[in-house]
Structure 1
Amino acid sequence: MFRGHSYRNLDAKGRLMLPPEFRETVFEHSPEGKLMLTNFDGAVAGYPMPEWQRIEESFERINILNAKVRNLQRFIISGAVEITLDKQGRILIPPHLRNYAKLEKDVVLAGVIQKFEIWDMTRFEERRRLTEENFDDDMASLADEGFELRL
């Protein structure tokens, strides 16, 4: 499970050091340190292999006669690349994903339960600000979906 966020820097080659707790989660699901990266929601999403397999299986079960489904499938699946953590715990983010997410140097890794996201720091902070401004409405939408939060 991925949770929390961490501020990091991409090196000149597009490599990113994962925080220790994210590396542990990757190795729990894939002892060889493999994961899938893809474009999603303005960021790069990183999935442990078992979670990625569920995504592909979900796409296999849906109706491809729907053009919106085909477009999303094409976008998510064709953007995907399998990567392996190196010995230093870094991942190499391919140029097409760095371009899509507008990643340059300062990035944020955000844990989002079954995956983590890699955001350009400025875009991440802007998204958080907008979420904060719309918090009450967004929480009402979550409640409509069956989400319960007891504080």
Structure 2
Amino acid sequence: MFRGQFAHTIDAKGRVSLPARFRDGLVAQGDPRFILTPALFDPCLHLYPMRAWEELEEKIAGLPSFDPNIVRFRRLYLSAALECELDKAGRVLVPPALRERVGLAKDALWAGMGRTVELWAQERWDAALALSDDERVAFERAVMEQIRV
């Protein structure tokens, strides 16, 4: 499981270090490879360990091929997926097109999301989490009701 938030800097070549805790999580799953793909609803990248990505691909392969929403999903999510490995320094090279798509320039934030990880531009992460007190209370209540806590 991937947990926690870690701020990192993207270098001039577009490389960013994956936090050691997340690297260890990949190694523990038996395959150091992973997938980076743009999120559909947020300005961030999703990182899937290879096994989790393959499970997702299997589920998607079983969906109707002629459903326009499924076709569009495949085009938006699957076709943008990039198989990656870390370099010897524990960094991933994020291609310019992916960096531009989600606004990654210098300050980045890795966010553990359980089975996956998100990579955000720090300022977009901060904006996404900015809620008024009333919004936060309403949000927390709605989520807690869903998970019955």
1-structure distance, mates of 2:105, 2:134: 27
SS at match of 1:76: helix
Paired residues of 1:30 and 1:48 also in contact (CA < 8 A): no
Matched residue, 1:109: 110
Q: C-alpha offsets along residues 16-47 of structure 1, whole Å, 9 cap, x if unaligned?
A: 1111101100111234x211100002101111
Structure 1 unmatched runs, 5+: none
Count of matched residue pairs? 147
Aligned twin of 1:46: 47
The equivalent of 2:121 in structure 1 is 120
Cα displacement string for residues 23-72 of structure 1 (whole angstroms, at most 9, x for unaligned residues): 100111234x2111000021011110111011111111212322122111
How far apart are the structure 2 equivalents of 1:97 and 1:138?
30
TM-score of the aligned structures, taking structure 2 as reference length = 0.90
Match of 1:138 in 2: 139
> Structure 1 pair 89/62, CA: closer, same or farther in 2 (3 Å)?
same
Q: Distance in 1 between matches of 2:88 and 2:108?
A: 21
Identity %: 31
Partner in structure 2 of residue 28 of structure 1? 28
Structure 2: stretches of 5+ with no match in the other structure: none
Cα 1:114–1:39 change in 2 (3 A) is: same
Question: How do residues 43-122 of structure 1 correspond to structure 2 at under 5 angstroms?
Answer: 43-122=44-123
Report how far residue 133 of structure 1 moved: 5.5
